[in-house]
Structure 1
Amino acid sequence: MSDLQRSFLKAKLAHLPPLPPDDVAEVPVETDHDDSSSSASSASSTRTIKPLQSKNMFARSTSTASGKGGQLEQIPWSTYISQELYLHSHATDGKPAITHHVYVTPPAAQGPLFVTHHGAGSSGLSFAVLASEIRRLLPKAGILSLDARGHGETVILTPEEGGSTTLDLSLETLGNDMIDVIRLTQAELGWEELPPLVLVGHSLGGAVVTDVASRGVFKDKVLAYAVLDVVEGSAIDALQSMQTYLSTRPSGFSTQASGIEWHTSARITVPALLRQNPSPQTPSGTWVWRTDLAKTQPFWEGWFKGLSKKFLEAKGGKLLLLAGTDRLDKELTIGQMQGKYQLQVFPEAGHFIHEDLPDKTAAVLVDFYRRNDRTALVLPPKVSDLLRSNKEGSLGL
C-alpha cells in the first residue's frame, strides 16, 4: 500500500464513530406486560446486558476519594445531614420495646422523602454522602436514613427491665421496623401527611425496601423503590462464601483511625460501625464491631429468597443499580428485556455503590424520582365535566 493510500485511509478512519462497548447489544424492548406489576413510568433499559466476568460480591472499590491525603479523622454526621432522632416504639404483643435511631433532613414543601435502609453490618451513615449529593441536585428533597436493629445506635429493650434481648433480624421484622420508623418520624416532625416516598436499600436493605413496597402499606405514597447491588440469585450464591469473608476480616482495631484505614478511609461511615471494647485487654482490640455478622447467619437465606419475583411484582417505579452485570439472575434478566424496571450498571464501583460513587448514584436516583413524580402530572378533564361545561355555555349560564 502506498503512502498516499495510507494517508487517505487514516483520514477516513478518523471520522468513523467509535465502536460500541463489548458488554451490550441493542435489542427492541417488549412492553406488553401488566402495568399493575411493573412501572410504566420507569425508564427501562433498551439494551440486553451480557454478563461480565464475576467479581467479589462483598468487595469495596479502592477508587473511593474519601480521606485523600492520608486523613483518617472522623467526619461528623452533621456535615451531611441536618438532625438525628431517637424514636421510641413501645413493647406490644410480646415484642420488645425498641428505640430507633435515624438521621433525617426534612423535605421542603411537596418535596420527596428518600428513605434509605443499609446492608448487614452497616449503619444509616452509609448514605450520608449520598444524602448530601441528592440535596445538591434536588434541594427540596428530604432524607430519612435509619439504623436497623442491632446496628448503629438503635437499641432493643425487653418489656420488663430494659435489658438486651435475642436479636431478630428476619425480613418480616426488619420490614416492620422500617414501616414503624416512617410513621414515628411523621409523628415526631408533625407532618399532617407523608410526603412522596422513594425507598432506597443497599444489599440486605434492598430486600427490606422491596418487602415494604410489596406490602402496599403506604399505598400511593410510595412513588418508587430502588435496590442497590443485590439480586436473589447472586446474593444466595455469595452467602456460601460469607463465612470465609468474615474470617478474613479483623475482629477489632486499636483505634478508630485503624478501622477507617482498613475500610479505604471511609471517615463518615466507619465510626458508626465500631464500639469501644468493654474488655480492651482481649486480642480483638480497643474498637470492635457493633454488629456480629456471624450471629446473623440464621437469617441470611430468608433475606433474599423470592426477592426477584417480589421486586418485579410490587407496585411503583423500580430501579436496580448494580456494580456488575454478573449480578443479574435469570428472572431479572428476562424482566429487564421486557422493560419492567430501570437498570443502571456502574462497573467501576464495588459492592458499596452509593459510597464509592455518591455523585453518580445521586444523579440516577434524582432522575429516577423525576420520572416517577406525579405531583407535576396534570390530568385531562373528565368527559362528563366537558359536556356539562358546554351545555351551561350554550344556555348562557
Structure 2
Amino acid sequence: MSLAILALILFVSIFLLVLYGYPVAFTLGGLSLLYAFCFLDPVVLTLLPNRVMGVMDNSVLLAVPLFVFMGIMLEKSGLAERMLRTMTELFGRVRGGMAISVIIVGALLAASTGIVGATVITMGLISLPPMLKRGYPATVSTGVIAASGTLGQIIPPSVVLVLLGSVLGVSVGKLFSAALWPSLLLVGAYVLYIIGLGILKPQLFPRGDNDLKGWTPAFFKDLLQSLLLPLLLIVAVLGSILAGKASPTEASAIGAFGAVLLTLTQGKLKWATVRDVCQDTTHLTAMVFMILLGATTFSLVFRELGGDQFLVRLINQGGLSEYQFLAFVMIVVFVAGFFIDFIEIVFIIVPVVTPIFIGYGTDLVWLGILLGINLQTSFLSPPFGFALFYLKGVAPPEVKTVHLYKGIIPFLVIQVFLLIVVVLFPNWLGISM
C-alpha cells in the first residue's frame, strides 16, 4: 500500500473518530503520531517542534483570546437586552419592527463578539419570549433569531476568519475587509425579507408591535448607552484594522479593553464577572490551541505521507476545473458543518484542500470568504444545524423543532443566494481576483 493511500486513510479515520465523539485535538495529534511512528522515518518527527513553535510564535493568533474575551465580556454586560429594547422602540412604527430589531442587534453582537453559540443563546433568551408574547409566529421568531445569531461567522471581527487567515496563510485584515460588503449585504437582505413579509402577509406581525413611546430624553439616553457606545467600539476595532492603523492583534486588544469599559458603564463590572469571563476565555482559548497543535501534527504527517501531492494528481487526472473542485469542497464543508464544529472543519479539511487551490491559482482571500459564508449556512441547515440546537435548548416548550426547521428555510435561501453572488461577482464585492 502506497504512503499516499495511507494519508487518505489517516484523513478519513480522523474524520470518522471525530464524528464518533472522540476529542478533536487528541484525535488529530495522537492518530497522526501513530501513523508517523508506523509508516515514516522517525527523523520526520524532528520537524514537529519547529512547527509547534511556529504556531506559538504567531502573533496574529493572539487575536483569538482577545476577541473571545471581548465577546464574552459584552455578553455578560447586559448590553444585548438593552439594545433590543431600544431598537424595538426605534422601529416601533414599522410592521415587523421587533424582527428587524433582532436582526440589527444580532449583527451588532456579531460585530462585537464573533462567537456564534453565545450570540444565538443570548438572542434566544432575551428576544424569543417577547416575540411570542407579542403574537409573532414561532416559525418567524425562531428563523429570525437563528439567522441573526449566526452572523458572527462572517461579520468581522470573526474568530472564524482569524483562524481561516492562519490556515490559509493570508492577511486577517484582508479577510476582514473582504467580508465587510458580503456581511452588510446579508444583513440588508434579512431586513428586506422581513419588510417584504410584512407587506405581503401583514397578519404575521401584530399591530401591538407599533408601540414607540416617543423621542423622550430617557429614550435618547438609552439610545446613546445601548447603541452608539457599542457602535463606537466596533468602529474603533474594525476601523483601525481597515485603515491600516492597527494589526488584528492590536485591534483585538483595543476591543477587549473597550468591552471592559462598556461593561463598567452598564454597572456590571464586578469581580465575579471578570473571573467568569477570564475562566470562559481560558477554556475556549485552550480548546482552540490544542486543536491547532493537533492540526499542525496532522498537517505535517499528511504531507510527509504524500497526501497533498496525491490529491493534486487525482484532481488533475479527473480533469476537474477550479469551479468544479470548489463546488465539491463547498458541498463537503457544508455537510461536515452538520456534524462537527467550525474549528474542526478549519483545521481538518481546509489544510488538505488549500494546496490544490493554490495550484489552481485561486485567490485565497476569496476562498476564505466563501468558506465563512458556507460554514454559516451549514450552521443553519436542518436537520443538524448547530444554531438550531442552541436555540431549541433555550426555547419555551411550545416552540417545537418543526417550527425551527420551517422558519429557517427563507434565510437559507438568502444565504445560498449570497454565496452565488460572491462566487460570480467577487470584484463587485471588493474581493480582488
Question: Could you tell me the TM-score, scaled by structure 1's length?
Answer: 0.30
Larger Rg: 1
Q: Which has the higher helix share?
A: 2
Higher relative contact order (CA 8 A, sep 6+): 2
Q: Which has the higher strand share?
A: 1
